[in-house]
Amino acid sequence: MSDLPKNSNELIEKIDYNPSKKGWMDVPVEIRKGMYCYASNPKSVEYIGLPNARPWNPLDDDWKLPVNWKEIVHNAFKERLDRFRSFKVFMDICVRCGACADKCHFFIGTGDPKNMPVLRAELLRSVYRNDFTTAGKIFGKVAGARELTMDVLKEWWYYFFQCTECRRCSVFCPYGIDTAEITIMAREIFNLLGLNIDWIATPTANCYRTGNHLGIQPHAFKEMIEFFVDDIEEKTGVVVEPSFNRKGADILFITPSGDVFADPGTYTAMGYLMLFHYLKEQGLNVTWSTYASEGGNFGFFTSHELMKRLNAKMYAEAKRLGVKWILGGECGHMWRVINQYMDTMNGPADFLEDPVSPITGTKFENAKSTKMVHISEFTADLIYHGKLKLDKSRNDNLKVTFHDSCNTSRGMGMFDEPRYIINNVCNHFYEMPKNTIREQTFCCGSGSGLNAGEDMELRMCGGLPRANAVKYVHEKFGVNMLACVCAIDRAALPPLMDYWVPGVGVTGITEMVANALIMPGEKERTVNLRDEPLPGMEE
Amino acid sequence: MKLEELLIQKKKVIADKWFDAVVDTYPAETCKFIKSQKNPFSNPVGNTTQKGLTVLMDELLGEMDPDTINSFLDPIIRIRAIQDFTPSKAVSFLFSLKEIIKDQLKDKDFDDNTLIELNQFNKKIDSLALIGFDIYMKCREKIYHIKANEEKNRTFRAFERAGLIKEIPDNNAESQLV
């Protein structure tokens, strides 16, 4: 919502509801409450060694930039054009065919043309033409070029933080332009001016310092998991025994800290614990780490260097503990970082072995280079080999649909494993419409560090296409549960459902697996992990 | 001919023009997209709006059933309540129907009765606008509620998880004063 008009005259003067007919370059940016995230906390910026740490407010005229900020931007732009060939190509080859224009969830939801991926990229390209191309230097605006001004910088900042780097647009681009990469470059440049948002800067600093986004110290991390152990015992009668930082384990398990500290991810974390306990007898030897206590990587939304620094702890911890390979939990961008960057950034991890399931003997060829296997790949393989005893009817209260996380789908190509698992642990599964799932999945609207509280309008706009598809299956089939394999989804989708489709809950896949799993020695299960009565056990 | 009969005849034209008027509140590039993309999942704004306005038009010419009106007006306003519109701009489209209808009537359509009927019909539009205002407020309150809850969950739950909060136990034995 825009701010209220200041007086009634202003209201009457503005009675013309038709929007401006000016071209996009002539429509100045208006930074609107609810659509942006708060500025980074200077302490966090300082901690990770980034420049220009100071308090600032995006609504102020003065952003307290260094005097030579234009020079910094120009040099940073140039450096990145030289360093990343893809970035240079993406700046040059767009023919503005418009194939991407209507594919962005932020454009669809906000109706703001500057959220068309082509136009968002054009915000940057216009300055690229002006500074780095002959045609732009000579013909200026006619050639689509414009000078970098403070207003242009503010426009960049506003719109490049209205992109979740989900890459849906790139699926439709005939040239394969990856708009996410353009956003990544823009955000790197912002960080050189001290223009990060706090929802990224502080988790990044926390992760660098304590190992996870929330700044949870090792003992608290351990205590939280021990709390889950008690909870599991209460519900199943089974005492699971996780281990931490244990040298000699075969497998290191890393998941986003959101699973440990935020509902409904906590139920998924309990699911991991139950699954590992179940498999212990069959030869699974796994440890958690309180040092590598974060799978997510908000450095990815800051700069390549920070992403590398935060990611490094995964291999470092695997090396320290002497494990054979790494198993990863349900996360989104963690998998994008692993699949696209980890091996070349911090690899080769030649001290690890090619991942082999100790239960089924399956060799995970796809993880040969990263040495890291997704929990859904691991679980689907167990089910396929009949290694899990499951009672699907325990999930009979659920009518489930599945939201492909942008990162696990477009970032790593995992489409079928989660669906295979869902179909084996519950009886009612319904797909959302074709153009909203798999590689065409719509983003939750809160990825890439945008899942703060203050930008709720932006999140609701960005999540509209996803919610609209959920609403369809909710009304048509009575779907009441939205399953996903991403911690940000688990945090972002509940408020999204609350606003657009009340009555639909959110779950991780492993939570559903654990509810269906018949544990050896379990007592009669009457409630699920959420303490709700199992079907048939209602009073 | 009675006004309502006339409007029933022109219902499709009026609903289409009404849709155009709503869509024209968006920038030109967005209008083009909203009007042309027919897939409901690629274009939730256009699809929700078009479907809703058609039903609302039926209700204005029919029973004015509050449940039906609510369930088709709510999704349109729910979208506009979070987009870049002032409150007045978000619900203004309901009033634009009056102009559209007036434009559809020719001089020969008017007699004393038509004016009375038009007045009555306009009152229905006013009722719709009032319902729209309620829905708009409900949506805004929901957003504030979600924001407040997010903050509360983050801070309270963090304290709770850290064991810094001691809740009154279920059996309340501790607090029994002798």
pLDDT digits (tens, 9 = 90+) for A4-36: 666 656 655 555 666 777 888 888 899 999 999
Q: Write out the H or E segment, with its range, that includes residue B115.
A: helix B112-161
Residue A34 C-alpha, separation from nearest chain B C-alpha, in angstroms? 9
How high is the pLDDT of residue A393? 97
Number of domains in chain B: 1
Q: Where in chain A is the domain with CATH 1.10.1060?
A: 22-196
How high is the pLDDT of residue B178? 47
Which residues in chain B (127-156) have CB-CB distances under 8 A to chain A? Answer: 139-140, 142-143, 146-147, 149-151, 153-154
Residue B169: inside a domain: no
Chain segment B67-105, per-residue pLDDT in tens: 999 999 999 999 999 999 999 999 999 999 999 999 988
Q: Are A420 and A429 in contact (CB under 8 A)?
A: no
Q: Please give the Cα distance from A37 to A451 (Å, whole number).
A: 9
| Whole-structure pTM value | 0.94
Q: Do B149 and A499 touch (CB under 8 A)?
A: no
Q: Please give the Cα distance from A106 to A115 (Å, whole number).
A: 6
Name residue, tokens 């647009």. A169
Q: Do A111 and B45 touch (CB under 8 A)?
A: yes
Residue B38: inside a domain: yes
Which residues in chain A (105-164) have CB-CB distances under 8 A to chain B? Answer: 107-113, 116, 119
As given in the structure block, the two tokens for residue B77 are: 């306003």
For the residues B165-177, what does the mean pLDDT come to? 63
Q: Please give the Cα distance from A38 to A456 (Å, whole number).
A: 12
Name residue, tokens 């018949």. A518
Q: Do B41 and A435 touch (CB under 8 A)?
A: yes
As given in the structure block, the two tokens for residue A28 are: 């100045």
How high is the pLDDT of residue A538? 87
Share of chain B above pLDDT 90, in %: 70
Chain B partners within 8 Å of A460 (Cβ): 82, 143
**Is A500 an interface residue toward B (CB < 8 Å)?**
yes
Q: Which segments within chain B are labelled E, that is strand?
A: none
How high is the pLDDT of residue A13? 59
Going A445 to A450 to A451 to A457, the CA torsion angle's sign is negative
Residue A98 exposed, middle or buried by CB count within 10 Å (0-12, 13-18, 19+): middle
DSSP-based three-state secondary structure for A71: helix
**Is B40 an interface residue toward A (CB < 8 Å)?**
yes
Residue B173: inside a domain: no
Residue A348: asked if its preceding bond is cis (omega within 30°), the reply is yes
> Cα separations (Å) of B29 from A98, A108, A144?
11, 12, 17
Residue of B nearest to A4 (CA): B86
How high is the pLDDT of residue B110? 73
Chain B partners within 8 Å of A5 (Cβ): 86, 88
Chain B partners within 8 Å of A17 (Cβ): 24-25, 89, 92
Residue B77 C-alpha, separation from nearest chain A C-alpha, in angstroms? 12
Residue B174: inside a domain: no
Q: Which residues contact A10 (CB under 8 A, 6 or more apart)?
A: none
Residue B178: inside a domain: no
DSSP-based three-state secondary structure for A116: coil
> Cα separations (Å) of A513 from A36, A273, A425, A498?
37, 11, 6, 25
Q: Please give the Cα distance from A188 to A194 (Å, whole number).
A: 10
Q: Which residues contact B63 (CB under 8 A, 6 or more apart)?
A: none
Nearest to B37 among A34, A102, A453 (CB): A102
Nearest to B83 among A111, A433, A454 (CB): A111
Q: Are A160 and A190 in contact (CB under 8 A)?
A: yes
Name residue, tokens 């319904």. A430
How high is the pLDDT of residue B176? 53
Residue B146: inside a domain: yes
Chain B partners within 8 Å of A32 (Cβ): 84
Chain segment A338-363, per-residue pLDDT in tens: 999 999 999 999 999 999 999 999 99
Residue A24 exposed, middle or buried by CB count within 10 Å (0-12, 13-18, 19+): middle
How high is the pLDDT of residue B173? 56
How high is the pLDDT of residue A5? 61
Judged against a pLDDT cut of 60, whether residue B143 lies above it is answered with yes
Chain segment A149-191, per-residue pLDDT in tens: 999 999 999 999 999 999 999 999 999 999 999 999 999 999 9
Q: Do B45 and A261 touch (CB under 8 A)?
A: no
Any idea what DSSP says for residue A41? Answer: P
Q: Do A1 and B87 touch (CB under 8 A)?
A: yes
Chain segment A48-91, per-residue pLDDT in tens: 999 999 999 999 999 999 999 999 999 999 999 999 999 999 99
Q: Do B29 and A214 touch (CB under 8 A)?
A: no
Q: Please give the Cα distance from A485 to B6 (Å, whole number).
A: 55
**Is B43 an interface residue toward A (CB < 8 Å)?**
yes
Q: Which domain holds residue B96?
A: 3-163
Edge-to-edge, what's the strand order for the sheet holding A505-508?
Answer: A400-403, A481-484, A505-508
Residue B26: inside a domain: yes
Going B63 to B65 to B71 to B77, the CA torsion angle's sign is positive
Chain segment A250-279, per-residue pLDDT in tens: 999 999 999 988 889 999 999 999 999 999
Q: Do B25 and A18 touch (CB under 8 A)?
A: yes
**What secondary structure does DSSP assign to A310-364, as a single string?**
HHHHHHHHHHHHT-SEEEE-S-SHHHHHIIIIIHHHT---TTSPPPB-TTT--B-
* A527 bridge partner residues: A533
CATH of A22-196, one of 1.10.10, 1.10.1060, 3.40.1130, 3.40.50: 1.10.1060
Q: Please give the Cα distance from A416 to A539 (Å, whole number).
A: 37
Q: Which residues contact A353 (CB under 8 A, 6 or more apart)?
A: A324, A325, A371
Q: Which of A468, A471, A473, A474 to mutate to test the interface with B (most CBs of B within 10 A)?
A: A468
Residue of B nearest to A225 (CA): B161
Q: What ipTM does the predicted assembly reach?
A: 0.92
Q: Write out the H or E segment, with its range, that includes residue A507.
A: strand A505-508
Least confident residue range of A139-148, A208-217, A437-446: A208-217
Closest CA to A432 of A512, A534, A530, A501: A501
Which residues in chain A (469-498) have CB-CB distances under 8 A to chain B? Answer: 469, 472, 495, 498
pLDDT band at B155 (very low <50, low <70, confident <90, very high): low
Closest CA to A128 of A109, A96, A152: A152
Chain A partners within 8 Å of B151 (Cβ): 453
Q: Which residues contact A128 (CB under 8 A, 6 or more apart)?
A: A77, A81, A91, A136
